[in-house]
Amino acid sequence: MTQPVSSKQGLSGLLVVDKPLGWTSMDVVRLVRRRAGGTKTGHAGTLDPLATGVLVCCLGRVTKAVPHLMGLTKVYEAAVDLSAFTDTDDREGGRIEVSVGTAPDEVALRKAVEFFVGSIEQRPPAYSAVHVGGRRAYERARRGETMDLPPRVVTVNAIEFLEYVWPIARLRITCGKGTYIRSIARDLGRRLGTGGHLHALRRTAVGSYDLSLAVDVEEMKRKITQSDLHPPPEDA
């Protein structure tokens, strides 16, 4: 098995962090870097400040594994609010109200969800890190520019229905690289004839790295040592 390398080059391995609400992914990276004595640190897949859960941080020589780790299957638990759209496709944006005469029942919701499983075309949110004309889409959106982002093909392995109490539908989504859960929330609402935006999101796994391995940021008040780190995948 590939092991994290501890040598004169310093710490090397993976630290799985449970990112808290309101933190950016880079906030976590900066904290890990400080606790690791300035060791080179990166992460394998951004989580928005609204999202919580598994953020895989790579330290030392294992930062080379970031591209591989970003390609691993991810699992999310999402709460979708069907009462309205928003301009950011999540609850932090301005609400775009819709008129819903009769709320869809569970049967209709389950049927609509099936449409989003498999290899699907998905249009990224306007407020996303996608490059448009050499700039990030969210930068242009903040300037009030209207953009027509081209759809991209992503893979959604499975969507498990968890709970539905109008207007919140709770889903467990297993998906591949580049999938926007905010886009699924928005498009689910469109398919149902309701609103649709992401109310809450928690990432529970990146590949085999799940919440059972994660440390809370409150636990990182001491120096990170080699014994705290996990090895990268053998094929990374």
Active site residues: 48
Could you tell me if 85 and 198 are in contact, meaning their C-beta atoms sit under 8 angstroms apart? no
- What are all long-range contacts of 19-26, with beta carbons under 8 Å and residues at least 24 apart? 19/47, 19/51, 19/52, 19/53, 19/54, 19/55, 19/217, 20/52, 20/216, 20/217, 21/49, 21/50, 21/52, 22/49, 23/49, 23/217, 24/49, 25/55
Of 65, 55, 62, 53, nearest in space to 29 by CA: 55
CA distances, 133 to each of 27, 137, 148, 151 (Å): 28, 9, 12, 16
- What are all long-range contacts of 27-30, with beta carbons under 8 Å and residues at least 24 apart? 28/55, 28/57, 28/217, 29/57
Q: Which two tokens stand for residue 42?
A: 């990166």
The type of residue at 49 is: P
Could you tell me if 235 and 18 are in contact, meaning their C-beta atoms sit under 8 angstroms apart? no
Could you tell me if 110 and 221 are in contact, meaning their C-beta atoms sit under 8 angstroms apart? no
